[in-house]
Amino acid sequence: MSEAKNSALSEEMILPKPDDFHVHFRQGESLGAYVRSSAQWFGRALVMPNTLPPVVDAGSLDAYRKKITACLPESLDFIPLMSFKLLAGMDAKTVETCAAAGAVAGKYYPAGATTNAADGPSNPGAVSEALSAMESAGVVLSIHGEDPDAPSLEREAAFLPALEKILDRWPRLRIVLEHLSTREAVDFVAKGPERLAATITAHHLLFTIDDMMGAGLNPHLFCKPPIKSAADRRALRNAAFSGSPKFFFGSDSAPHARAAKESARAPGGVYSSPTAIPALLGLFESEGALEALKPFVASSGARFYRLPAPQGRLRLLREPWTVPGEIDGIVPMCAGSELAWRLA
Ligand code: NCD
Ligand code: ZN
């Protein structure tokens, strides 16, 4: 980390402005707060399309991008990277017009796999025309890799054979397996071709299933895919700390109202935009992996997506702070805990 004073005693850390390759900004009145929170920490973010209504064509993509940029004050340089949601039967023309409108990814949500995914395809064959068009246009396939028919904790591993088939059938398609949560998925991506990469979240690197439900149930750490065992977390950390260009950061920051999260049927999603970067800095530092932080949050993803290197800098200070119980009306990741680093 060339610009950073990275000795254990330094009081300041300067990073290239990180990229977040997986974020949920939602639609509606809270959109602005989520966008501004993200833009304080990130120079670009890949915006997920599972909004209500969803982003499914060039018109909805363009309208959503305009809403996002309209929320930004001039002082914040932030580029939303747009994606669209793959729907069964989507034709090549729709993909081509989305690509022309600036889409960098099309998102595959297996039907019923997560929040607002009831309308997803039930198998890759249902979106074959769209996947071929994405392959030709150089649009990345972003995958929520869980098989909803498998038991909850086995859904990610159970999806891997389907991913193998997609890799075989579309030999030039570039693919990102999102929010890895298991050893099996880490191994699969590591051994796969160069055109297969993966995002890893902060919460899957920081926590285990016991933080979520080992003592009292903490619905604010419940997400899809669920956070798993210490052995899975070890594999994820090894991948993130390896400096491999195949593994990069995507927060999967997914705000849900406190009342919904604390209800009898909590939706999945961890709101991590406001705390992910200082928490990751603390983790990489304490694990002796600071050298890997810059590629993980600020260059490997951009390279995979064929984007220019990040512009701008992010300055953090070693000044412990206690994360508030609510930010933007949502209980954030690490609420109530102390983080060693804060935004300068
Ligand atoms: C996300 C959401 O709430 O939109 N939830 C989650 O648990 N991660 C959707 C997703 O990425 O699965
Ligand atoms: Zn997500």
* Per-residue pLDDT tens digits for 314-335: 999 999 999 999 999 999 999 9
> In the structure, what pLDDT confidence band is assigned to residue 290 with cuts at 50, 70 and 90?
very high
Average pLDDT on 161-182 reads 98
Percentage of the chain lying above the pLDDT 90 cut: 96
Full-model pTM: 0.97
pLDDT of residue 10: 76
Q: Is the pLDDT of residue 9 over 90?
A: no
- The answer, yes or no, to whether any atom of ligand 1 lies below 6 A from the CB of 252, is yes
Q: What is the per-residue pLDDT for 1?
A: 42
**How many structural domains are present in the chain?**
1
Span 51-73, average pLDDT:
97
- Quote the distance between the C-alpha of residue 272 and its chain's center: 10
| pLDDT average, residue stretch 207-216 | 97
**CB within 8 Å of 16: residues ≥ 6 apart:** 3, 294, 298, 299, 309, 310, 312, 313, 314
Task: For the chain, give the mean pLDDT.
Answer: 96
Place of tokens 């064959």: 125
Q: Which of 6-10, 25-29, 234-238 has the lowest mean pLDDT?
A: 6-10
The residue-averaged pLDDT of 136-142 equals 98
| CB-based contact 98:58 (threshold 8 Å) | yes
pLDDT reading at 164 higher than 70: yes
How much is the average pLDDT of 219-233? 98
**Residue having the nearest C-alpha atom to atom 9 of ligand 1:** 115
In three-state secondary structure terms, 124 is helix
Question: Residue 19: CB within 6 Å of ligand 1?
Answer: no
Task: Classify residue 113 by its DSSP letter.
Answer: S
Ligand 1: residue whose CA is nearest its atom 5: 269
pLDDT of residue 195: 98
How far is Cα 57 from Cα 127, in angstroms, rounded to an integer? 14
Is residue 265 scored above 60 in pLDDT? yes
- DSSP state at residue 294: H
Ligand nearest to the Cα of 152, by number: 1
Ligand that lies nearest to the alpha carbon of residue 223, given by its number in the listed order: 1
* 6 or 90: which leads in pLDDT: 90
Task: Give pLDDT, residue 104.
Answer: 98
CA of residue 274 to ligand 2 center, whole Å? 16
18-36 pLDDT, tens digit per residue, is: 999 999 999 999 999 999 9
Angstrom distance (rounded) from CA 213 to CA 124: 33
Task: Say which residues have a Cβ less than 8 Å from residue 231's Cβ, sequence separation at least 6.
Answer: 183
Does the beta carbon of 254 lie inside 6 Å of ligand 1? yes
Q: Cα separations (Å) of 65 from 71, 237, 267?
A: 10, 33, 25
User: Tell me, what's the pLDDT at 161?
Assistant: 98
- Mean pLDDT confidence for 202-212: 98
Residue 234 tokens read as: 């070890």
Does any ligand 1 atom lie closer than 6 A to the CB of residue 35?
no
Q: What is the position in ligand 1's atom list of the atom closest to the CA of 109?
A: 12
One-letter amino acid at 243 equals: G
Using the atom order of ligand 1, give the atom closest to the CA of residue 22: 11
pLDDT band at residue 212 using 50, 70 and 90 as cut-offs: very high
With vertex at residue 102, the alpha carbon angle to CA 101 and CA 103, rounded to the nearest 5 degrees, is 105
Q: Which atom of ligand 1 is nearest to the CA of 223?
A: 7
pLDDT band for position 3 (50/70/90)?
very low
Task: State mean pLDDT over 266-294.
Answer: 98
Tell me, what CATH number does 175's domain have?
3.20.20.140
* 268 ligand 1 Cβ < 6 A: yes
Question: Residues lining ligand 2 (ion), CB within 5 A?
Answer: 252
Q: Is the CB of 225 within 6 Å of ligand 1?
A: no
Range of the domain at 303: 3-343
Report whether pLDDT(2) > 80: no
Q: What is the pLDDT of residue 210?
A: 98
* pLDDT (0 to 100) of residue 294: 98
Answer whether residue 6 shows pLDDT above 80.
no
**Element spanning 247, H or E:** strand 247-249
| Active site members | 252
- pLDDT at 5 exceeding the cut of 80: no
Residue 193 backbone phi and psi in degrees, to 5: -70, 165
